[in-house]
Amino acid sequence: MSLFKRNTGRRKHVGRRVVGVGAGVALMMLGLAAPASAATVTSFTPTTGPTDCVIVLTGTGFTDVPKVDEDVVFVNAAGNVTLDGAVAADAARFARISSTEMWVQIPGTLTLGLGYTIRVDAGGTGTASATAFTRITSAGGCAPTITSLAPTCGNTDTTVKITGTNLIGPGLGGAATRFAPYATDAAHVVPDVDVPTSINVVVPSLSVDGLVRVTTFGSTGGQIFSSTVFDISDACTPTTGDEHARSITFKIKKSGAASGVVSSTEDPAFTDCAAAVPVKIQRKKPGGGWKTVGNTTTTDTGSYSKKVKNKPGKQKFRALAPKVSLGDPVTDTCLKAKSATRSA
């Protein structure tokens, strides 16, 4: 069944190209030039790595046509390998970040040890890169690195920015991140602000003091530990920058519809700590402690809303605005705010 769908997708894609050729012929008959592809790959990084390594292409014209009409082509004298934008499995391996940037997950169909230049065909044949990518079995230039954590201590709801390189993993999302004792993956913040040079995650519950581990691909060298220990502490203060206090209101209905407002408690108000910040909706666990059952983000005015699942029987809920560091390097820190407990 999947093969049939894939072939169908190919036929549709070929059909689009035939239409494009027909349009070009019509233009020529009218004495006009057919439109040329504007897609050009000027550079990419890294240039070596294993299957599922994510590379960053830089160039122009990457969003000139719909993604289904676009291909990423690895060019080699022995035979090209194409990621076809009209085929779901292939399209999932490249993401168009902007007209000048694209992320591409390396397919396993590249011949080991052979160099491939890369081009983007966006409505026509694009201009290939001058340099080549070589698929190898080791991490090569695709090995992730961690240069800093910000902050380096906090409680289990703290948002931590991890800075380094090659921090986007398979699936074109932020790399899987774990804090000691490395039992569960840390959630990435919403909205997603992960890029190859930095990812933002929330310290999971039950974490303890230890190094932070980041994993991209499964091959040797695809995992790295930070050189800095992250300390679990409610008394953590930023190494630089000013702290800003805030508050959060919370209400919840029996249907599970939760809402409230995050506000600055300073005069004048420091609104950067209220607008577009993460909020967690938490439910009291029977044995004590709190479980996060929903994540959302405030609007520009600090308000938020989230529908969560409400179990049978009266449950206790609260809202939490985790500690957040602003700026790179950190210039301001928004302190954690907890609402009063509500029952639903």
Residue with structure tokens 């004495």?
31
Q: How many CA atoms, within 13 angstroms, populate the side-chain half-sphere of residue 16? A: 18
Of the candidates 231, 263, 232, 237, which has an alpha carbon nearest to the alpha carbon of residue 250? 263
CATH 2.60.40.10 residue spans of the chain? 2-24+36-135, 143-232
Q: CATH assignment of 143-232, given 3.30.43.10, 1.10.10.10, 1.10.340.70, 2.60.40.10?
A: 2.60.40.10
Give the domain 2-24+36-135 fold. Answer: Immunoglobulin-like (2.60.40)
- Taking each continuous run of H as one helix and of E as one strand, the counts in the chain are 2, 31
CA distance 65 to 124: 10
Is the CA virtual torsion 136, 138, 141, 142 positive or negative?
A: positive
Looking at residue 154, its pLDDT comes to 86
What is the pLDDT at residue 37? 59
Which residues, in sequence order, are bridge partners of residue 82? 73
Pair of tokens at residue 255:
């249907």
Q: Which CATH number fits domain 242-343: 1.10.10, 1.10.3470, 2.30.30, 2.60.40?
A: 2.60.40
Strands 48-49 and 133-135: parallel
The structure tokens 């920015």 sit at 161
DSSP E strand stretches across 207-315: 210-215, 223-232, 242-244, 246-248, 251-252, 257-264, 278-284, 290-297, 303-307
- What are phi and psi for residue 243, nearest 5 degrees? -95, 145
pLDDT computed for residue 290 by the predictor: 86
Per-residue pLDDT of the chain (344 residues; tens, 9 = 90+): 333 333 333 333 333 333 333 444 443 444 444 344 579 999 999 999 999 999 999 999 999 999 999 999 999 988 899 999 999 999 999 999 999 999 999 999 999 999 999 999 988 899 999 999 999 999 999 999 999 998 888 888 889 999 999 999 999 999 999 999 999 999 998 888 899 999 999 999 889 899 999 999 887 889 999 999 998 876 665 455 688 999 999 999 999 999 999 999 888 899 999 999 999 999 998 877 888 999 999 999 999 999 998 888 889 999 999 988 887 777 888 989 999 999 98
Kindly give the pairing relationship between strand 115-122 and strand 70-75.
antiparallel
- The residue among 255, 256, 263 whose CA lies nearest residue 279 is 263
On the 0-12 / 13-18 / 19+ scale of CB atoms within 10 A, 282 is: buried
